[in-house]
Amino acid sequence: MAAASISVAEAMWEELVVRAVSKLDKNDYMRYFPKICLTKPTPDEDPLADLDTFDGPGPWDRTLLEVEVENPMDAAAGRRKMLLFSGNDYLNLSSHPAVRKAASKAALVFGMGPRASSMISGHTEYHRLLEDTLADLTKKEACVITPTGFAANTAFLSALGSVASLTAAAKRPAKHEKIAIFSDALNHASIIDGLRMVERHQEADVFVYKHNDMKHLDELLSNCPADRKVVYTDSLFSMEGDFAPMLELVELRKKHGFLFVIDDAHTTLVCGKNGGGIAEVYGIEDQIDICIGTLSKATGCLGGFIACSKKWKLLIQGRGRPYIFTTSSPLPTVAACYAAVMVAKKEPWRRQAVWSKVQEFSALTKFPVASPIVSLVVGSERAALLASKHMLDCGFHVTAIRPPAVAPDACRLRVTLTAAHTSEDLRRLVTALSQCIPSLQGEVRQVAARL
């Protein structure tokens, strides 16, 4: 019964997307869309040739961890050296020699590349190569890259909503033609903004389920009469540091036959043997219909992507407004992204180092840490700002997270761990944290006293 419901649901979405694309592209123009190809560089100029990889960390890995900070309230004091624990460059790839070389070579040979939207002339063979590489990484047929991760979510949701409007019998979708989207309460702002867009266009009804509450989601799905159901969730929540219950979501997909969409921004390259993200960890790539990610976190560059089927790609290209109406990513950025993905695959020790730091932090603090994102809730905005100031005074760049990113009474410090942080870095960090985080003070002070 479960297998049958999956096949029926998949067939339904496949048929809907085919109908939407056929109505969108009545003259089959997209089939003949010319592919921009740049002048082939010489072997010495090729930005993607000879990507150096290493068996362990080098001095470049800490380039962007050891920074200087200027106090805006006391410019006369000059700059102070800080250790960064607030970025998302989990694998420290932003400063990797191969990434630097790919970006600089591409800039020297091609400048910024064609400056137009992807649908006009901004989509080169380098963009297509990156798309193919990301599709392979996520075990999907195709991929669409966007200028940012924010644009990836809003572009997909723009295309998703168009399924209802393009296949509607009338100008506006009738109630039974609308899409029902079920979204986790703590999903990223880009998802929330995209959902508001499709609601405003009357293409979808949105239901928000309690954070990671599968019982609540099951109830909402069971009570919804719509056939066109979608479940949309972050795989790793950026402000909480916890994972979505992927296996439970897969079971609900079998039961309800929904389109399963994940935002894999914080697990791409960080999780999985090859860096394929949360789906690779559980071997459930075939159970996730759409995988959305960013190239600005573990990849260390900038951009977003939507890994999907070839039919979904056509629809996104034709109806994904942020994709259509934004200039494509500069070619040096695309070359750097490709280099970073290749390095991450060939240097698995980086992923191992990240998870080693997660275990070490947990052992030092006895704090339940599930990921490289450590969320330390302190309460009020003032409490978070004072805690952040204390950390700055101690030489650590750990910023206060406040509204609108979190609720007013759930302000926090958000610590992020990377492959290049050392054991000594963590011990010093824990000592500083023990002096300003109430939830850590008891256990951590005992540990800190022994350091």
Q: What angle do CA 259, 264, 268 make, to 5 degrees?
A: 135
- pLDDT computed for residue 75 by the predictor: 67
Tell me, yes or no, whether 207 and 328 share the same domain: yes
Q: Which two tokens stand for residue 15?
A: 């048929």
pLDDT tens sequence across 229-268: 999 999 999 999 999 999 999 999 999 999 999 999 999 9
pLDDT tens sequence across 309-344: 999 999 999 999 999 999 999 999 999 999 999 999
Could you check whether the bond before residue 404 is cis, i.e. omega within 30 degrees of 0?
A: yes
Tell me, yes or no, whether 375 and 290 share the same domain: no
Distance CA 296, CA 329 (A): 12
Tell me, yes or no, whether 446 and 321 share the same domain: no
77 or 41, greater pLDDT: 41
pLDDT of 445 strictly over 70: no
* Look-up of token digits 């992927």: 246
pLDDT tens sequence across 351-404: 999 999 999 999 999 888 999 999 999 999 999 999 999 999 999 999 999 999
75 or 97, greater pLDDT: 97
Number of domains in the chain: 2
pLDDT band at 441 (very low <50, low <70, confident <90, very high): low
Residue that is last in its domain, among 345, 373, 401: 345
- pLDDT computed for residue 74 by the predictor: 67
Tell me, yes or no, whether 20 and 156 share the same domain: yes
CATH of the domain at 336: 3.40.640.10
**418-429 average pLDDT score:** 96
| Structural domain harbouring 434 | 349-450
**296-303 average pLDDT score:** 97
pLDDT of 112 strictly over 60: yes
Tell me, yes or no, whether 114 and 135 share the same domain: yes
Tell me, yes or no, whether 152 and 207 share the same domain: yes
- Residue 117 located in a structural domain: yes
Tell me, yes or no, whether 362 and 308 share the same domain: no
pLDDT band at 451 (very low <50, low <70, confident <90, very high): very low
Distance CA 270, CA 260 (A): 21
Residue that is last in its domain, among 320, 345, 370: 345
- pLDDT computed for residue 1 by the predictor: 35
Q: Measure the N-to-C terminal CA separation of the chain; round to a whole number of Å.
A: 58
